[in-house]
Structures are given as structure tokens and as C-alpha cells.
Amino acid sequence: MIAKAAVLTAVLACLLAPTAQAQSFSCRGELAPDEQAVCDDSELAQLDVQLQNTYDRAMRKAPPNGQSQIRDAQREWLRQRRACGYNRACLRDIYRDQIAWLRQFD
């Protein structure tokens, strides 16, 4: 009986514990619609982390003139993401496209 209580307590602790941040930015405070969509959708949150990791690798591997190109493209991509608003399909598409583009620098 004690073992069952311990297991139940452990399971409840895991369920009630706050979840780890699954995107590359904080979901606290006032968010733009595109940011809110990423925070509300686990697939978009995973794509956001994947994009951040791919961007970081590309920046480390690219020569200085390539880094400038990547930075400029990422700024443009952020404008496109903002334009998607809360449209999750639009966001999924642009995340996937940007990840694919960044992989050329990997």
C-alpha cells in the first residue's frame, strides 16, 4: 500500500509540475498573435526550437559574409512570421521553409 501511494504521489508531482519551455522565447507577458500561436501549439513550439538550433549552427559555420546574409534573411523571416498572425498553417509553412533554407549553411 505504501508503494502504491509513493507511485501515485510521484505521478501526480510529474503531472502538476510546470512544463519546460518548448519554444525559443518566453510565453509570458503581452505577445503578438504569431508568438501566441507558437505558445499555444506544441508543433509550432517544436519548430521554433528547431529553427533556433538550425540558425545557431548556421551562424557558427558560416563565414562572416554568410553570417550577414543569414542575419538579414532571419530579420525578413521574422517580418513574414509576424504577417502570418495567428494562422497556424502559415506559420508551419514559413518555419519549415526557413529551416530548410538555413540547412544549406550546415
Local confidence band at 64 (pLDDT 50, 70, 90 cut-offs): confident
**14-28, 43-57, 69-83: least confidently modelled range:** 14-28
53, 42, 19: which is closest to 92 by C-alpha? 42
Reported pTM: 0.77
Classify residue 21: in a domain, yes or no: no
pLDDT, position 102: 96
Give the amino acid at 74: Q
Q: Note whether 44 and 89 are within 8 A (CB).
A: no
Which 8-state DSSP code applies to residue 103? G
Q: Which domain holds residue 76?
A: 31-105
Average pLDDT value for residue range 15-20: 38
Classify residue 15: in a domain, yes or no: no
Average pLDDT value for residue range 33-48: 96
**Is the pLDDT assigned to residue 79 strictly greater than 60?**
yes
For the chain, the farthest-separated pair of C-alpha atoms sits apart, in whole angstroms, at 66
CA–CA gap between residue 40 and residue 4 (Å, rounded): 35
Average pLDDT value for residue range 37-61: 96
State how many domains the chain has.
Answer: 1
